[in-house]
Structure 1
């Protein structure tokens, strides 16, 4: 998947570090998607914006993109990590915990 430099920059500019408590309401509504740390959060967001169902399905089938689970939410609530990054691609909020 190729994303234009302008699109990548726009999505990157809308991506921010975020606290779990701000994400909790999105989790409660079921519109929080967890993105595996191995993926590029901006590339995933771009695929969603472009409705790239093939890429999205592949990530979902591999467990790299999924609706945030109760166990993820409980873990984030307990740890309150400062490594969560998010971007809104309506109606979804994509969240990724960056490791390292």
Structure 2
């Protein structure tokens, strides 16, 4: 495992939607599709691996949250996400309701 991946693994966390709102307001949240590995995405962004990141953007696997999604999450402030901070971004991945 690379040093970068080890660092990212240590800061992988969970957060409630309410904790993420300030980051959404400053346009720093990136939503990562559930089929992608959050650590893989974080590592690609942190290391400027443009081909992977561009492919995910093109396939809409990493996006900014839509106004509709933000509205839904505002209705459920306890909604939880896997989170990974890769400055200046906060990568989030929805945790499916049990």
Work out whether the TM-score is over 0.5.
Answer: yes
1:61 equivalent in structure 2: 58
**Over aligned residue pairs, what C-alpha RMSD do you find?**
1.4
Per-residue deviation, 1:77: 1.8
Distance in 2 between residues matched to 1:17 and 1:44, nearest whole Å:
16
CA shift digits 1:7-53 (9 cap, x unpaired)? 32221110111011110011111111000010000110000010011
Query: Which residues of 2 match residues 1-100 of structure 1 at below 5 A?
Result: 4-79=1-76, 80-82=78-80, 84-99=81-96
**Number of equivalenced pairs:** 96
Per-residue deviation, 1:5: 4.2
Distance in 1 between residues matched to 2:55 and 2:29, nearest whole Å:
18
**Where do 5+ consecutive residues of structure 2 fail to align?**
none
